[in-house]
Chain A
């Protein structure tokens, strides 16, 4: 008699504890995103290095913080269950609880709320990442092929292209300016992948994809092919150099002769 009463009160206090904790997940998850300016760790990701990528980076941080809470609570509950309710000695028959409607509704509804919040922030960032400027500062045509890349600046008539093994092309970009890319493939599906920009997009045959980069830092980066495309898929590398606008102009002039 006492045992079953104790069990019931244990269940209730667990439900209350879990409710409080889970209830604050949503709030804290949201706060995490808002507070993203204040030193939340990167959790392994690159910081984005472009306006678009930086936005993705903060979304990643928010998702990760939410995951720590949800995953953490779940693991703690699981660990508690397996430690506390281990069979010790004589096998007695515990109270045969078939369910608890309130609890079941709770652990259905709270995840829906959490997921809705994640979706809200996702849509905001997604719109930012996928926006293509009407009048960008720069346009670049990217063509993928087995097994290399061609970058063409239509305004300047400048082309850089993979010339062979270890002879990867350079994509030169001016810092702080928005470049719109047109991406297409000549043969199979390739993936234009910039790890340090937190971004990738498929190069498809017969379909052109558009996206923007607004680089924030002058630095050198390495780009790769992400979508498996055959024998030398691992070798489809390219360099991205983000430089001051004046340096970009010099680079353009230097390449216009060839």
Chain B
């Protein structure tokens, strides 16, 4: 390295290939690692879902044994939530995009970032190792209720591998949360005040706060469970003076914020691209910030709506807050619509997925409001009504909004476009398959089909609806395959994308695609939430950059 009068020139050659992949502390490399790994886990968990749906195609199905079925839905749920949705959002998108959006050269703690990725990868693999043990993988549902998850009822190492895996992934998430929050607070470029930050970055800040509130509680609960299983503790056994329901309280205190930890980043993604593809600013920027904060605050107070049927929770309190959390979420939906209103909307694949997300999420959110009413929950709890509800909201956010984000930011990450025509097939096949899969499940729940059952009787009246749901699931599988195809084609036959193919507003578009190692050669002036828009469209700018010809360092 040569130092000349305060200027440092980096002469060292950047490492490449496998070595770079393993050791890089560059947030862009780590972010891509996370995305590839998380999407791989998604495909594995998706294959498990197809096995589950195949088993349920016929009453008294024989595709898998009862034990294997229980392992499949446990690991499907655990993988999708812990190993795909979360890491994809904060390890993948946030890692890559947030430093770029705030004009920073990297995350605040690059080496911690690298550690987070390896904890995630090895944690995920640990969970899957359960399948290779004699007694199989964990088989008590992703929620692992005690006493079922304690040693007398779930002996065998599969459960322990599951516990350790989630602890590792939990720490990965906590470290990423710390990294994100510190980066956002301290590494913003000059001129970027908090209320000029992109809303995706705001989402990640609030998500980071929730991660720090929720994940340590989960980790504590896991340690307690492990202690019960192996160290002779009695936290969750009645005979030892313990309280099984405490597991549910601890788990759901984590579990409910967890679903907002998963949702908020994807809300943020959609909040970025809807304005860009409508050629308007977001409608009500501050409202969106306050909605994020309200959602986060409320989400820490609603956990017992997962426990209405226990008979031991204060129903009116949790019902009221759960009903209320629909309000800031509704504010977001109306904001997105108001942003599109009066705009010049471009319906490329990314925007299609974003609109699809809104449709799916609104309906899923409405059924959530129904579930917030304890009497209705007494009827529908632990049935396919709930399964339909959470798949609507989760797939709406992590898949539809997630793919909207992939199609939006892929050019920035790779310098090439995904094929638009194939992208539209990807969208429509997945979207239609999604409704065919889950609408019948609402009715199945109302007609009495419980969750987590491998077989049902021919006289139950569930057969037709289950078959329809399975057909839809296969359609979704094909849709996902089309995405893979699109991804492969974009490498085999690249169509280069420039710095700012979408006429985007925020700083990630103010550098090359992909960005150079240190992210920016120079930054445009930051005088509003849309610095690049201001630069490129001075006649319609949110704030006209002042050209003084003199000292710009006053910021």
B141 to A228, Cβ gap below 8 A?
yes
Report A90-120 residues with CB < 8 Å from chain B CB. 91-100, 103-104, 107-108, 111-112, 115, 118-119
Docked Cα-Cα span, A34 to B537, in Å, equals 55
Say yes or no: is B452 at the interface (Cβ < 8 Å to chain A): yes
Report B322-338 residues with CB < 8 Å from chain A CB. 323-324, 326-327, 330-331, 333-335, 337-338
A112 to B327, Cβ gap below 8 A?
yes
Among B375, B454, B537, the one with the most A-chain Cβ atoms within 10 Å of its Cβ is: B375
Docked Cα-Cα span, A82 to B316, in Å, equals 39
Contacts of B453 in A (CB 8 A): 233-234
Which of A67, A97, A188 is in CB contact (< 8 Å) with B342? Answer: A97
Stretch at the interface among A155-163, A170-178, A192-200: A192-200
Say yes or no: is A242 at the interface (Cβ < 8 Å to chain B): no
Say yes or no: is A229 at the interface (Cβ < 8 Å to chain B): yes
Nearest CB in chain A: distance from B347 CB, A: 7
Nearest CB in chain A: distance from B540 CB, A: 5
A82 to B340, Cβ gap below 8 A?
yes
Which of B327, B330, B344, B443 is in CB contact (< 8 Å) with A91? Answer: B344
Which of B147, B319, B370 is in CB contact (< 8 Å) with A205? Answer: B147
Nearest CB in chain A: distance from B427 CB, A: 14
Contacts of B355 in A (CB 8 A): 78, 82
Select from chain B the residue with minimum beta-carbon distance to A78. Answer: B337
A96 to B446, Cβ gap below 8 A?
no
Docked Cα-Cα span, A130 to B346, in Å, equals 52
A202 to B319, Cβ gap below 8 A?
no
Nearest CB in chain B: distance from A148 CB, A: 16
B145 to A85, Cβ gap below 8 A?
no
Say yes or no: is A23 at the interface (Cβ < 8 Å to chain B): no
A202 to B309, Cβ gap below 8 A?
yes
Stretch at the interface among B100-108, B276-284, B395-403: B276-284
Say yes or no: is A129 at the interface (Cβ < 8 Å to chain B): yes
Which of B244, B285, B327, B456 is in CB contact (< 8 Å) with A111? Answer: B327
A206 to B379, Cβ gap below 8 A?
no
A115 and B326 contact, Cβ closer than 8 Å, known pairs A85-B341, A125-B375, A228-B148:
yes
Say yes or no: is B359 at the interface (Cβ < 8 Å to chain A): yes
A224 and B448 contact, Cβ closer than 8 Å, known pairs A56-B376, A107-B331, A202-B311:
yes
Q: How many residues of A contact B (CB 8 A)?
A: 84
Which of A63, A196, A199, A225 is in CB contact (< 8 Å) with B370? Answer: A63
A104 to B447, Cβ gap below 8 A?
no
A94 to B344, Cβ gap below 8 A?
yes
A98 and B369 contact, Cβ closer than 8 Å, known pairs A87-B346, A234-B454, A234-B456:
no
Contacts of A38 in B (CB 8 A): none
Chain A 111-152 near chain B by CB (<8 Å), digits 1 or 0: 110010011001101100110000000000000001000000
Select from chain A the residue with minimum beta-carbon distance to B324. Answer: A115
A91 and B342 contact, Cβ closer than 8 Å, known pairs A188-B148, A199-B378, A228-B141:
no
A81 to B340, Cβ gap below 8 A?
yes
A96 and B540 contact, Cβ closer than 8 Å, known pairs A11-B342, A44-B447, A59-B376:
yes
Say yes or no: is B451 at the interface (Cβ < 8 Å to chain A): yes
Among A86, A198, A228, the one with the most B-chain Cβ atoms within 10 Å of its Cβ is: A228
Contacts of B333 in A (CB 8 A): 74
Nearest CB in chain B: distance from A90 CB, A: 9
A119 to B319, Cβ gap below 8 A?
yes
Nearest CB in chain A: distance from B147 CB, A: 5
A93 and B279 contact, Cβ closer than 8 Å, known pairs A56-B376, A119-B319, A205-B244:
yes
A60 to B344, Cβ gap below 8 A?
no
Which of A46, A129, A207 is in CB contact (< 8 Å) with B375? Answer: A129
Say yes or no: is B382 at the interface (Cβ < 8 Å to chain A): yes
Nearest CB in chain A: distance from B58 CB, A: 14
Say yes or no: is A191 at the interface (Cβ < 8 Å to chain B): yes
Say yes or no: is B287 at the interface (Cβ < 8 Å to chain A): yes
B238 to A107, Cβ gap below 8 A?
no
B379 to A198, Cβ gap below 8 A?
yes
Say yes or no: is A231 at the interface (Cβ < 8 Å to chain B): yes
Docked Cα-Cα span, A60 to B375, in Å, equals 9
A230 to B342, Cβ gap below 8 A?
no
A129 to B378, Cβ gap below 8 A?
yes
Say yes or no: is A77 at the interface (Cβ < 8 Å to chain B): yes
Say yes or no: is A24 at the interface (Cβ < 8 Å to chain B): no
Select from chain B the residue with minimum beta-carbon distance to A113. Answer: B327
Docked Cα-Cα span, A205 to B146, in Å, equals 10
Please list the residues of chain A having a beta carbon within 8 angstroms of any beta carbon in chain B.
Answer: 7, 10-11, 14, 43-46, 53, 55-56, 59-60, 63-64, 67, 70-71, 74-75, 77-78, 81-82, 85-87, 91-100, 103-104, 107-108, 111-112, 115, 118-119, 122-123, 125-126, 129-130, 146, 187-189, 191, 193, 195-196, 198-202, 204-207, 209-211, 222, 224-234
Please give 8 more A-B residue pairs, beta carbons under 8 A apart, in addition to A77-B337, A201-B378: A44-B446, A64-B370, A115-B323, A122-B319, A189-B148, A195-B447, A202-B309, A222-B448
Question: What are 29 sample pairs from A and B whose C-beta atoms fall under 8 A apart?
Answer: A10-B342, A44-B442, A44-B443, A59-B373, A78-B355, A86-B345, A93-B540, A94-B278, A94-B342, A94-B343, A96-B280, A97-B342, A111-B326, A129-B378, A189-B147, A193-B448, A193-B450, A195-B447, A198-B379, A200-B378, A200-B379, A200-B382, A202-B311, A206-B238, A207-B312, A226-B381, A226-B383, A226-B451, A228-B452
Please list the residues of chain B having a beta carbon within 8 angstroms of any beta carbon in chain A.
Answer: 66-67, 70, 140-141, 145, 147-148, 153, 238, 243-245, 278-281, 283-287, 309-312, 315-316, 319-320, 323-324, 326-327, 330-331, 333-335, 337-338, 340-347, 355, 358-359, 362-363, 366-367, 369-370, 373-376, 378-379, 381-383, 442-443, 446-448, 450-456, 537, 540, 542
